[in-house]
Amino acid sequence: MKPKKEKIIDTAIALFADNGFHNTSISQIANKAGVSKGLMYNYFESKEDLLKYIFDLGAAKLLENFDPNRDGVLTKEEFIFYIEDIFYQMQKDRNYWMLFFNIVTQPAITQIVADRMMEMVGPMMKELTDYFRNKGCEDPEAEARYFVAVMDGVGMHYLLDQENYPIRSVIKKIIKEFV
Amino acid sequence: MKPKKEKIIDTAIALFADNGFHNTSISQIANKAGVSKGLMYNYFESKEDLLKYIFDLGAAKLLENFDPNRDGVLTKEEFIFYIEDIFYQMQKDRNYWMLFFNIVTQPAITQIVADRMMEMVGPMMKELTDYFRNKGCEDPEAEARYFVAVMDGVGMHYLLDQENYPIRSVIKKIIKEFV
Amino acid sequence: MKPKKEKIIDTAIALFADNGFHNTSISQIANKAGVSKGLMYNYFESKEDLLKYIFDLGAAKLLENFDPNRDGVLTKEEFIFYIEDIFYQMQKDRNYWMLFFNIVTQPAITQIVADRMMEMVGPMMKELTDYFRNKGCEDPEAEARYFVAVMDGVGMHYLLDQENYPIRSVIKKIIKEFV
Amino acid sequence: MKPKKEKIIDTAIALFADNGFHNTSISQIANKAGVSKGLMYNYFESKEDLLKYIFDLGAAKLLENFDPNRDGVLTKEEFIFYIEDIFYQMQKDRNYWMLFFNIVTQPAITQIVADRMMEMVGPMMKELTDYFRNKGCEDPEAEARYFVAVMDGVGMHYLLDQENYPIRSVIKKIIKEFV
DNA sequence: CATGAATGAGGTTTCATTCAT
DNA sequence: AATGAATGAAACCTCATTCAT
What is the per-residue pLDDT across B101-136, written as a single tens digit (0 to 9) for each? 888 888 889 988 888 888 888 889 999 999 999 999
- Cα distances from A138 to residues A129, A135, A144, B162, D127, in angstroms, run 11, 9, 11, 21, 100
Judged against a pLDDT cut of 90, whether residue D65 lies above it is answered with no
| Intra-chain end-to-end CA distance of chain B, in Å | 39
The arithmetic mean of pLDDT across residues A115-127, rounded, is 89
C37/F9 CA-to-C1' distance in Å:
11
Residue B38 — pLDDT band, cuts 50, 70, 90? very high
Amino acid C70: pLDDT = 77
The arithmetic mean of pLDDT across residues B45-55, rounded, is 96
| C48 CB inside 7 Å of strand E | yes
DSSP class of D116: H
Residue C58 — pLDDT band, cuts 50, 70, 90? confident
Amino acid D118: pLDDT = 86
Q: Report d(CA B154, CA D115) in Å as an integer.
A: 75
**Of all nucleotides in the shown strands, which has a C1' nearest the CA of D40?**
E2
Q: Report d(CA B3, CA B39) in Å as an integer.
A: 12
Q: Does C135 touch chain D (CB under 8 A)?
A: no
Q: Of the given ranges (A71-80, B60-69, B170-179), which has the lowest mean pLDDT? A: B60-69
CB C19, CB D108: distance < 8 Å: yes
Span C35-56, pLDDT tens digits: 999 999 999 999 999 999 999 9
CA atoms within 13 A on the CB side of A104: 27
| D23 CB inside 7 Å of strand E | no
Q: Report d(CA B160, CA C143) in Å as an integer.
A: 68
Judged against a pLDDT cut of 90, whether residue A169 lies above it is answered with yes
Residue C68 — pLDDT band, cuts 50, 70, 90? confident
Span C2-37, pLDDT tens digits: 899 999 999 999 999 999 999 999 999 999 999 999
Q: Report d(CA D174, CA C150) in Å as an integer.
A: 10
Q: Does C112 touch chain D (CB under 8 A)?
A: no
Amino acid A141: pLDDT = 95
Judged against a pLDDT cut of 80, whether residue D67 lies above it is answered with no
Q: Report d(CA D177, CA D175) in Å as an integer.
A: 5
List the one residue out of A25, A16, D100 whose CA is nearest residue B106.
Answer: A16
Q: Report d(CA A104, CA A149) in Å as an integer.
A: 12
Chains that touch B (3 or more CB pairs under 8 A): A
Span D158-171, pLDDT tens digits: 999 999 999 999 99
What is the per-residue DSSP string for chain A? Answer: --HHHHHHHHHHHHHHHHH-STT--HHHHHHHHTS-GGGHHHH-SSHHHHHHHHHHHHHHHHHHTSSTT-SS---HHHHHHHHHHHHHHHHHTHHHHHHHHHHHT-HHHHGGGHHHHHHHHHHHHHHHHHHHHHHT-SSHHHHHHHHHHHHHHHHHHHHHTTTT--HHHHHHHHHHHH-
Span A13-67, pLDDT tens digits: 999 999 999 999 999 999 999 999 999 999 999 999 999 999 999 888 888 877 7
Amino acid C102: pLDDT = 86
Count of CB pairs separated by less than 8 Å, C with D:
123
List the one residue out of C174, C63, C154 whose CA is nearest residue C116.
Answer: C63
Amino acid B59: pLDDT = 84
Q: Report d(CA B52, CA B99) in Å as an integer.
A: 12
Q: Does D104 touch chain C (CB under 8 A)?
A: yes
**Of all nucleotides in the shown strands, which has a C1' nearest the CA of B28?**
E15
Amino acid D19: pLDDT = 94
DSSP class of D113: G
CA atoms within 13 A on the CB side of A133: 9
Q: Of the given ranges (B157-166, C143-152, D20-29, D96-105), which has the lowest mean pLDDT? A: D96-105
Span A65-93, pLDDT tens digits: 777 787 888 999 999 999 999 999 999 99
Amino acid B105: pLDDT = 84
| D41 CB inside 7 Å of strand F | yes
Which chain A residues touch B173 with a CB distance below 8 Å?
A: 142-143, 146
List the one residue out of B94, B98, B103 whose CA is nearest residue B121.
Answer: B103
- In the predicted model, what is the mean pLDDT of chain D? 92
Amino acid D121: pLDDT = 87
| Residue among A20, A104, A145 minimizing CB distance to B109 | A20
